[in-house]
C-alpha cells in the first residue's frame, strides 16, 4: 500500500468511526455519530473501551476481508463497539486500574469474536428473513461475556461503577427520570443528564423518532406498574429495548404511518413480555458457607432484535403489501424515508398494487371493467375487455357480420410487462359474429409469468396468431399475438387480466394500469399515472419518448445557461447535470439550488429540491413538476409534487410529522400540454392548500421544442410575473465572454 493509498485508507477508517456510533441509533448521520461518541466518553473508561472495541472491529474487518480499506462504513463493526461498551461498563473498576492489559485483551478478543458472530448471524437473517441482524450478535456475545465475568469472579454486582466526567443531579418525576435513563442506557452511560442530551440529539435528527421513543417508553411505564422489573446494575434494559422497538418498527423498517405506529405499539407490548421473561436471576455459591449469591442477568438488546426481526419478516409474508409499507428504499431517516416514499413512489403508484401497462396500441374502448355486469364477477372480477370504435361509435368498417371488418380484429396484442411465456393455446377457430364457443371458454390465449405467483392473461386471440412457445422470454411491449374472436366471444375483443395461476380461469388479482391516456368528454386526453380504467372509457397508452433526456439536454455532465429576470434583479444561471453513486440524477445550479429528477418511461419528474429557493432552477421545479412528452394533440395531467418544491425546511418537517396522522397541508399541480408553431407549450398551476383551503397558487408556462429543448419558462402569482428565464444560445454566451 503506497503513501497515497495509506492516507486514503486512514481517512476512510476515520469516517467509519462516527458512522458506527450513528448506526446504534439507526442513523447514518456522521454528526449523530460524533455526538454519541462524545456522550459515551462522559464515562471515560466505558467510552474508551467502546472505542477500542470499535477500532478492533474496523481493522479486523479489513484484515479478514469482510470490508475493503476503501470502505467508510461502520456497520460491520458497530456490534464490536457495543461489546466494548458493555465490557467497559461491567468490568470491575479495580481490575481496570490494576490490570489494564487484561482489560484491553478481553475487549480485543471479544470484539473480534463478536464481529465473526455478526458476519454469520447477519448472513442468516439476510438470507432467511431479508433483515439485517442489527445488534443480535452483540446481545449473544455480551451474554456470554457477562457469564464469563461472573464465573471468573470479575463481576459480583458491586465495585463495577466507573467515574463520570461530571455528575449533574437532576430531580425529575419518575416517568421522565427513567425515560432519560433508558435513553442513556443505549450508550452504556445510564445518567439522566446524558439521556437528556441523547433526547436532544434525537429531536434534531428526527421528531418522529423522538415521538416514537416517548410512545415506547409510555407503554413501558404503564406495563411496569404490573411487574417488578427495574434497573439492572444501573442499566434500564426494559426501557431502552422498548424505546428501540418503537423507533425501529414505527419509522425505520416501516414507512411512518398510523398503521406503523399501531404495529410499533404492538411490538412494544410483545417486547415487554419478552423482556419480562428474560429478566432472570443467576445463583452462585457465596464465600459464606451454606449461602447462595444471586445476580440479575442482563438481557441486553435481545428483546428488541427478536421482536423487530420477527414482526418485519412476518409482514413480508403478506399476500398484499397495502398498509404498513416496508421501508426497502435504503433511507434510515424517518422523515427522509417518508418524503421519498411520498414523492417517488406513492406519487406514481399504490403500495402493494401490481403495476402493468395496457397491452395494446392506439385508442381502445373499455367495454367491461372490474366487477363488470356480464362476466367479470366473483374470482374473475379484476379484468378488462377492450374493443375499438370509430368516432361514430361503430366497431366495424362496413359489415357487422364480417370478422375482418371489425377494427380490432387482427390488431397486435402486446406484453403488459416483461416475463416468461407460461402457457399458450393457439388452435381454437375464431367464431362467426354472434356465435360463441362455450366449450373453450377462453379461446386462444397466452399466459405470461412475471414471478412470485403473478401472471397476466391475454384471451380470445386470433387462431394461429401466437408465434411464441412456452418458456420464451418477452419484454414489455413485445407482440404476443393478435386480437381474435375465439372462445366465449360474440364479437372480436381482447380480454385482459392479472391472475394468480398459469391456467385460464385462475382467480384474478387487483392491479393498476400505469401511464395511460383517458379521453375526456371534450376530446382532450388526460394522463393517468396509475389507476383502473373504467367501463366506457376510451384509453390509449402513453408512447414513451425514448429521447426525452437528450431533448431536454439532461444527460450526465451537460450544461445549459439561462438569462433570468425577476422584478428586482437580473442574472445568468448555469445548470449542470450530476449523477451520484446511487444513480440519482440532479440538476445543480450555480446559484445554489439542487434538484433531483428522474426520466422514466418517457416522463420527466422533479423529485426533491434542496438548498437555494430563489433561483431559476427552483422555479423550473414548480413549473415542470412532471413532464410527459407528447406531440399528438392536447394532453392534461395532475400531480402531487414533492413538498420540497414549494415549502421551506421548517414547514416541510412540520407536514411530514403530521402526515402519518392526517394531511393538513397539500401541494397539488395540474398541467396542460399543447402545440403551437411547432413548439410545445406546457401551462401549469401549483397550489398549496391548508385544511382544504388554497392559500397560495402559482402559475407557470414552459416552452419546448424537439430541436432546442427548453426554450424559456416563467412563473407567476396573481397575474404578477415572479420570474422569467430564457435559454441562452452558445453564440450569446460567447459574445458575453
DSSP letter for each residue of 354-406: -EE--SSSS-EEEEE-TT-SSS--GGG-SEEEEE---TTS-SBSS-TT-GGGB
Q: Bridge partners of 224?
A: none
Number of structural domains found in the chain: 4
* pLDDT confidence of residue 3: 61
DSSP letter, residue 235? B
Does residue 155 sit in the same domain as residue 247? no
Torsion of CA 538, 544, 545, 548, to 10 degrees: 120
Q: Cα separation of 456 and 478, whole Å? A: 14
Tell me what percent of the chain is helix, strand and coil, each rounded to the nearest 5.
35, 25, 40
536: left (phi over 0), alpha (psi -120 to 50) or beta: left
CATH number at residue 217: 1.10.3430.10
Q: Which residues of 65-89 are buried (b: 16+ CB within 10 A; e: fewer)?
A: ebbeeebebbbbbbbbbbbbbbbbb
* pLDDT confidence of residue 382: 96
| Domain stop point among 521, 541, 561 | 541
The three three-digit cell numbers of residue 71, written as one number: 470502505
Q: Is residue 186 assigned to a domain?
A: no
**DSSP assignment string, 661-704:** T---EEEEEEEEEEEETTEEEEEEEEEEEETTEEEEEEEEEEEE
Q: Residue 321 sits in which domain range?
A: 195-333
Q: Cα separation of 629 and 641, whole Å? A: 18
The three three-digit cell numbers of residue 159, written as one number: 465495585
Does residue 485 sit in the same domain as residue 363? yes
Does residue 214 sit in the same domain as residue 121? no
Q: Cα separation of 341 and 330, whole Å? A: 11
| Domain stop point among 265, 300, 333 | 333
Does residue 537 sit in the same domain as residue 552? no
Contact of 262 with 41, CB cutoff 8 Å: no
* Strands 538-541 and 525-531, bridge-based pairing: unpaired
Does residue 534 sit in the same domain as residue 604? no
Does residue 556 sit in the same domain as residue 525? no
188: left (phi over 0), alpha (psi -120 to 50) or beta: left
* Regions of the chain where pLDDT drops below 50: 288, 734, 737
From residue 435, alpha-carbon distances to 359, 486, 724 in Å are: 25, 10, 63
Q: Cα separation of 101 and 105, whole Å? A: 6
Contact of 643 with 681, CB cutoff 8 Å: no
Q: How far is C-alpha 679 from the geometric centre of its chain's CA atoms?
A: 37
Q: Is residue 286 assigned to a domain?
A: yes
**DSSP assignment string, 477-530:** T-EEEEB--BSS-SS--EEEEEESSSSTTPPB---EEEEEEEE-TTS-EEEEEE
Does residue 658 sit in the same domain as residue 690? yes
Q: Cα separation of 654 and 648, whole Å? A: 10
* pLDDT confidence of residue 69: 82
Does residue 614 sit in the same domain as residue 574? yes
Q: Which residues of 35-56 are buried (b: 16+ CB within 10 A; e: fewer)?
A: bbbebbbbbebbbbbbbbbbbb
DSSP letter, residue 578? E
* pLDDT confidence of residue 730: 58
CA distance between the termini of the chain: 46
> Cα dihedral sign for 186, 187, 190, 194?
negative
* pLDDT confidence of residue 345: 82
Residue 18 CB: number of other CB atoms within 10 A? 22
Maximal C-alpha separation, the chain:
110
Q: Is residue 216 assigned to a domain?
A: yes
Does residue 481 sit in the same domain as residue 505? yes
Amino acid at each position: 500500500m503506497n503513501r497515497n493509498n495509506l492516507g486514503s485508507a486512514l481517512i476512510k477508517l476515520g469516517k467509519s468511526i462516527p458512522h458506527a456510533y450513528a448506526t446504534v441509533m439507526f442513523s447514518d448521520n456522521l454528526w449523530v455519530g460524533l455526538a454519541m461518541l462524545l456522550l459515551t466518553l462522559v464515562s471515560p473508561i466505558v467510552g474508551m473501551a467502546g472505542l477500542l472495541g470499535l477500532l478492533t472491529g474496523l481493522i479486523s474487518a479489513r484484515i479478514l476481508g469482510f470490508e475493503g480499506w476503501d470502505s467508510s462504513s461502520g456497520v460491520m463493526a458497530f456490534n464490536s463497539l457495543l461489546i466494548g461498551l458493555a465490557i467497559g461498563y461491567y468490568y470491575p473498576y479495580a481490575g481496570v486500574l490494576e490490570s489494564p492489559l487484561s482489560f484491553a485483551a478481553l475487549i480485543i478478543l471479544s470484539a473480534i469474536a463478536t464481529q465473526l458472530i455478526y458476519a454469520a448471524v447477519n448472513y442468516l437473517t439476510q438470507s432467511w428473513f431479508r433483515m439485517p441482524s442489527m445488534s443480535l450478535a452483540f446481545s449473544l456475545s455480551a451474554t456470554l461475556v457477562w457469564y464469563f465475568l461472573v464465573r471468573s469472579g470479575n463481576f459480583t454486582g458491586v465495585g463495577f461503577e466507573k467515574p463520570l466526567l461530571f455528575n449533574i443531579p437532576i430531580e425529575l418525576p419518575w416517568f421522565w427520570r427513567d425515560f432519560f435513563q433508558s435513553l442513556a442506557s443505549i450508550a452504556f452511560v445510564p445518567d439522566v443528564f446524558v439521556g437528556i442530551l441523547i433526547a436532544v440529539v434525537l429531536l434534531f435528527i428526527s421528531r418522529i423518532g423522538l415521538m416514537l421513543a416517548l410512545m415506547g417508553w409510555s407503554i413501558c411505564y404503564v406495563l411496569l406498574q404490573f411487574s417488578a422489573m427495574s434497573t439492572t446494575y444501573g442499566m434500564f434494559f426494559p426501557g431502552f429495548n422498548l424505546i428501540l422497538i418503537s423507533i425501529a418498527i414505527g419509522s425505520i423498517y416501516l414507512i411512518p404511518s398510523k398503521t406503523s405506529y399501531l404495529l410499533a405499539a404492538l411490538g412494544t407490548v410483545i417486547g415487554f413480555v419478552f423482556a419480562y421473561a428474560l429478566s432472570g436471576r443467576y445463583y452462585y455459591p457465596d464465600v459464606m458457607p451454606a449461602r447462595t449469591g444471586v445476580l440479575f442477568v442482563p438481557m441486553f438488546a435481545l428483546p428488541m432484535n427478536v421482536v423487530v426481526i420477527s414482526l418485519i419478516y412476518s409482514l413480508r409474508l403478506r399476500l398484499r403489501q397495502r398498509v404498513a409499507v416496508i421501508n426497502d428504499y435504503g433511507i434510515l431517516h424517518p422523515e427522509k424515508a417518508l418524503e421519498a416514499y411520498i414523492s417517488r413512489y406513492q406519487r406514481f403508484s399504490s403500495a402493494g398494487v401490481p403495476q402493468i401497462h395496457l397491452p395494446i396500441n392506439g385508442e381502445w374502448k373499455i367495454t367491461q371493467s372490474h366487477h363488470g355486469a356480464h362476466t367479470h364477477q366473483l374470482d374473475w372480477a379484476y379484468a378488462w375487455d377492450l374493443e375499438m370504435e370509430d368516432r361514430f361509435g361503430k366497431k366495424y368498417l362496413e359489415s357487422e357480420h364480417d370478422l375482418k371488418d371489425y377494427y380490432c380484429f387482427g390488431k397486435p396484442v402486446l406484453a403488459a410487462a416483461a416475463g416468461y411465456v407460461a402457457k399458450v393455446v393457439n388452435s381454437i377457430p375464431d367464431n362467426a359474429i354472434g356465435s360463441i364457443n362455450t366449450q373453450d371458454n377462453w379461446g386462444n390465449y397466452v399466459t405470461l409469468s412475471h414471478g412470485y405467483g403473478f401472471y397476466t392473461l391475454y384471451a380470445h386471440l386470433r387462431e394461429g396468431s401466437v408465434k411464441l412457445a412456452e418458456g420464451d422470454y418477452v419484454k414489455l411491449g413485445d407482440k404476443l399475438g393478435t386480437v381474435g374472436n375465439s372462445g366465449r366471444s360474440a364479437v372480436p375483443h381482447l380480454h385482459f387480466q392479472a391472475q394468480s395461476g398459469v391456467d385460464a380461469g385462475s382467480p384474478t388479482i387487483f392491479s393498476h394500469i400505469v401511464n395511460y391516456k383517458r379521453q375526456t368528454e371534450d376530446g382532450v386526453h388526460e394522463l393517468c399515472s396509475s389507476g383502473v380504467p373504467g367501463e366506457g372509457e376510451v384509453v390509449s397508452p402513453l408512447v414513451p419518448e425514448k429521447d426525452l433526456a437528450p431533448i431536454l439536454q439532461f444527460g450526465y455532465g451537460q450544461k445549459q445557461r439561462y438569462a433570468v429576470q425577476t422584478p428586482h434583479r437580473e442574472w445568468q444561471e448555469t445548470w449542470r447535470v450530476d449523477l451520484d453513486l446511487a444513480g440519482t440524477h440532479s440538476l445543480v445550479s450555480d446559484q445554489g439550488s439542487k434538484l433531483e429528477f428522474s426520466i422514466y418511461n418517457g416522463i420527466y419528474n422533479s423529485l426533491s429540491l434542496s438548498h437555494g429557493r430563489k433561483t431559476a432552477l427552483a422555479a423550473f421545479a414548480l413549473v415542470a413538476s412532471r413532464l410527459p412528452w407528447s406531440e399528438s394533440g392536447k394532453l392534461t395531467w395532475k400531480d402531487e409534487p414533492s413538498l420540497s418544491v414549494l415549502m421551506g425546511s421548517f414547514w416541510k418537517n412540520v407536514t411530514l410529522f403530521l402526515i402519518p396522522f392526517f394531511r393538513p397541508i397539500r401541494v397539488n399541480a395540474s398541467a396542460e400540454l399543447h402545440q403551437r408553431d411547432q413548439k410545445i407549450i406546457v401551462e401549469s398551476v401549483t397550489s398549496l392548500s391548508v385544511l382544504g383551503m388554497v392559500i397560495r397558487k402559482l402559475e407557470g408556462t414552459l416552452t419546448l421544442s424537439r430541436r432546442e429543448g427548453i426554450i424559456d419558462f416563467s412563473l407567476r402569482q396573481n397575474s404578477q410575473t415572479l420570474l422569467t428565464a430564457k435559454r441562452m444560445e452558445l453564440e450569446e454566451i460567447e459574445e458575453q465572454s
